[in-house]
Amino acid sequence: MLATTKPTNFIRQIIDQDLSAGKHDVIVTRFPPEPNGYLHIGHAKSIWLNFGIADDYNGKCTLRFDDTNPVKEQAEFVTAIEQDVRWLGYQWERTAHASDYFDQLHGFAVELIEKGLAYVDSLTAEKIREYRGTLTEPGKDSPYRSRSSDENREMFAKMRAGEFADGEHVLRAKIDMASPNINLRDPVIYRIRHHHHQRTDNAWCIYPMYDFTHGLSDAIEGVTHSLCTLEFEDHRALYDWLLDNTSAPCHPQQIEFSRLNLNYTVMSKRMLTQLVENGNVQGWDDPRMPTICGLRRRGFTPASVRNFIATVGITKRDNVIEMGVLENSIREDLELIAPRVMAVLRPLKVVIENYPEGEYEQIEAPNYPRDASMGTRTITLGREIYIEQDDFMEHPPDKFFRLGPGREVRLRYGFVIRCTEVIKNQSGEVMELRCQYDPDTRRGRPPEGRKVKGIIHWVSANHCVEAEVRLYDRLFSEANPQADKGRDFKQALNPGSLNILSHSKLEASLASPEPDARYQFERLGYFYADKNSGAGNLIYNRIVTLRDTWARIAG
């Protein structure tokens, strides 16, 4: 069932309460990625949450890039991220950047200095770490903590003017070096980085830190609910402190929810980057990647991704979702919209000996048997066809109701054939089948006096097109590739995650697929033309297999 009812979760409950208490008139959220990499399906959870709330509450969600670290960020990621969000089906009024607020942010920093709530620290990074204390021991004050407001203002001005080298000084909030919450032990809020910024160019050589930037940017934008993941729970105290101690225009509420985890894959940007750089996959949009661009290239629909997120829900519990849930959501969507066609992945030639040579029959096959409005297309059947290697067994086990020596099977939309001869090569491999067909079983007519349970797909040998078909399987062969901390997660990679078949035979209509169309190759799965596919070089990606009860029985 596609989720059509409005989602409910603890965050929406908080919003409902805030609304009925008159705390806000309009709900404002934001999706705040850092433009330092590609989005993955975990981000889709946040996008769905933030944009979905804005949509349902008639509010506003802005896409804001948290571009406060010029060393890591690039403009090309901004474009890619925008494209991904749009692909998922969301719109926003304007693209914001934290860097848009650098002037205001700088003003807030000066304000803190003037209030005696921030100071320039001249300790080295190592010393700062030492002074911070540990999880169980309090930190101690920096000797620079007591600089006067004037001196701090002057020093900070010099930092901004570029008079110091990277790392010489930082600006710190003056809170409490003994706080049990380490985020409150005088966090660094500005650092010196003589580095070109993808948007502000060389206008700045000091850049604000995430904690300082994030809440204040939320406030500048009038965000009402600032939704983030669990690891920021400890930062909320700082988020609130900053808002309470500056003249920020409002005080958004930070609410944390748990990240999305999927088994048989990894979701960390660091690990995904490794896979790309190490050549384990062919890029960020490799169809095996859990990235948005990977899923897109694989053939997932935006609706299926949204529905998947809606299905797994929003809570504060750590969770690992089974791949099967994602697969179910794409099958559910495609079942209703994908035209059915026939394609033979691993071809086995069949000659129907009693079918006249050079003669063919045209069959009007429905594009979608359950819905006539999706039309039909014509397929050709003749003496020579290809069937799937898997649909023939020389020594079939019980319950195998496909083809075997002397057995009968129906060609989908065609007639019943009986296998009369098996032709093998010298090494004993089956090369070709000889069959006889029963003319009385055309157009669906059942054979006299016997039952034919097996129905197999096929293509006409003289009317099919050849294509490369890429079969994808899970990227890792272990449910949790990171389980063993002592070993490289790449050891858990599934060597069979990509299987390329270069001589598959497809029915003629697949030579020029409709743009952005997903097809069901009957009995096999759902397929999508790869971005590099074209006339004369057809490439289809398998999105997902069909459920396959036989495969389970057969092992």
Partner RNA sequence: UGGGGUGUAGCCAAGCGGCCUAAGGCACCAGAUUUUGAUUCUGGCAUUUCGGAGGUUCGAAUCCUCCCACCCCAGCCA
Catalogue the active-site residues: 34, 259, 269
Binders of RNA among 316-345, rule CB under 7 A? 316-322, 324-325, 327-328, 331-332, 335, 340
Q: Find the part of the chain contacting RNA (CB under 7 A) among 18-26, 162-170, 219-227, 462-470.
A: 162-170
- Cα separations (Å) of 545 from 471, 531, 536, 551? 9, 20, 25, 11
Neighbours of 483 (CB within 10 A): 10
Pick from 319, 265, 322, 273: nearest CA to 295: 265
Pick from 88, 75, 93: nearest CA to 36: 75
- Helix, strand, coil content of the chain in percent (nearest 5): 30, 25, 45
Binders of RNA among 363-382, rule CB under 7 A? 368-370
454 binds RNA per the rule CB under 7 A: yes
Q: Find the part of the chain contacting RNA (CB under 7 A) among 77-85, 121-129, 349-357, 464-472.
A: 121-129
Q: Copy the structure tokens of residue 538.
A: 């057809």
547 binds RNA per the rule CB under 7 A: yes
Neighbours of 360 (CB within 10 A): 14
Instruction: State which residue, 167 or 249, has the beta carbon closest to RNA.
Output: 167
Binders of RNA among 289-308, rule CB under 7 A? none
Q: Find the part of the chain contacting RNA (CB under 7 A) among 117-125, 273-281, 290-298, 506-514.
A: 117-125
Q: Find the part of the chain contacting RNA (CB under 7 A) among 38-46, 68-76, 110-118, 511-519.
A: 68-76
- The β-bridge partners of 118 are 173
Binders of RNA among 380-409, rule CB under 7 A? 399-402
- What's the one-letter identity of residue 172? R
In the complex, the smallest distance separating the C-beta of residue 535 from RNA, rounded to whole angstroms, is 27
Backbone angles phi, psi at 522, to 5 degrees: -55, 135
Give the SS3 label for residue 449. coil
In the complex, the smallest distance separating the C-beta of residue 282 from RNA, rounded to whole angstroms, is 26
Instruction: State which residue, 241 or 413, has the beta carbon closest to RNA.
Output: 413
In the complex, the smallest distance separating the C-beta of residue 537 from RNA, rounded to whole angstroms, is 26
List 18, 34, 384, 478, residue binding RNA (CB under 7 A): 34
Instruction: State which residue, 360 or 401, has the beta carbon closest to RNA.
Output: 401
494 binds RNA per the rule CB under 7 A: no
Instruction: State which residue, 72 or 424, has the beta carbon closest to RNA.
Output: 72
In the complex, the smallest distance separating the C-beta of residue 434 from RNA, rounded to whole angstroms, is 21
Instruction: State which residue, 321 or 498, has the beta carbon closest to RNA.
Output: 321
Residues in binding contact with RNA, number by CB under 7 A: 93
Q: What is the 3-state secondary structure (H, E, C) of 299-340?
A: CCCHHHHHHHHHHHCCCCCCCCECHHHHHHHHHHHHHHHCCE
List 106, 132, 377, 490, residue binding RNA (CB under 7 A): 132
Q: What is the 3-state secondary structure (H, E, C) of 140-192?
A: CCCCCCCCCHHHHHHHHHHHHHCCCCCCCCEEEECCCCCCCCHHHCCCEEEEE
Tell me, residue by residue from 461 to 490, as one string, x for binding to RNA by CB under 7 A and - for no binding. ------------------------------
In the complex, the smallest distance separating the C-beta of residue 210 from RNA, rounded to whole angstroms, is 3
- Cα separations (Å) of 475 from 233, 491, 497, 515? 31, 11, 5, 27
72 binds RNA per the rule CB under 7 A: yes
66 binds RNA per the rule CB under 7 A: yes
Q: What angle do CA 153, 157, 162 make, to 5 degrees?
A: 150
Instruction: State which residue, 223 or 286, has the beta carbon closest to RNA.
Output: 223
Instruction: State which residue, 135 or 535, has the beta carbon closest to RNA.
Output: 135
Q: Find the part of the chain contacting RNA (CB under 7 A) among 343-351, 424-432, 504-512, 540-548.
A: 540-548
| Total residue count of the chain as it appears in this document | 555
209 binds RNA per the rule CB under 7 A: yes
- What's the one-letter identity of residue 279? G
268 binds RNA per the rule CB under 7 A: no
Q: Which residues contact 159 (CB under 8 A, 6 or more apart)?
A: 120, 169, 171, 190, 192, 205, 206
Q: Copy the structure tokens of residue 161.
A: 């003017």
Instruction: State which residue, 76 or 534, has the beta carbon closest to RNA.
Output: 76
Q: Copy the structure tokens of residue 96.
A: 């914001």
- What's the one-letter identity of residue 517? A
